Amino acid sequence: MRHTVGISEMIASKNPADVLITYSLGSCIGVVVYDPVALVGGMAHCMLPLSKIDKAKAEKKPCMFIDSGIPVLLNEVLKMGAQMKDLVVKVAGGSQLMDDKKLFRIGERNYAVLRKLLWKNNILIKAEDVGGQISRTLTLEIATGRVAIKSKGKEWEL
């Protein structure tokens, strides 16, 4: 069954029939975590790097922010039986859309905060497709752990 992960949302699953998908990753970051041993996975679609800009929003929608959303994603897959040592992390997004003068650099900042947060937790990114000036669609198949990206009519595995 196909489940859409909306902006500022997260879904985790251990149902092999599930496919998680998120659309329109521009400056947002899509993060997939998957345990190939437990066959548990999850996906988050985070908009902004740091929750300190709006604590109230972070409490209501932690996945709006990298620093509050990624711990929620990790905790959810661990509760479903994933093991930290077996996690495979893949990342997409972080584009520089509509910021030609590079004033805000949201995509770049999102990616930097994500890397730092994962590094502090001894988690490495296995594969990524970040930056540039494209929008991406990201999918995760729970049964196989296959992660794919679609953009501009093309699809590739991550």
What are the C-alpha distances in Å from 34 to residues 15, 59, 91? 12, 25, 12
> What does residue 31 show for φ and ψ, rounded to 5 degrees?
-120, 130
Catalytic pick from 11, 28, 43, 46?
Answer: 28
The label of the residue with tokens 């996975």 reads: 41
Q: b or e along 57-67 (b: 16 or more beta carbons within 10 Å of the residue's beta carbon)?
A: ebeebbbbbbb
- 138 close to 147: Cβ distance less than 8 angstroms: yes
Q: Is 28 assigned a catalytic role?
A: yes
Q: What is the set of active-site residues?
A: 28
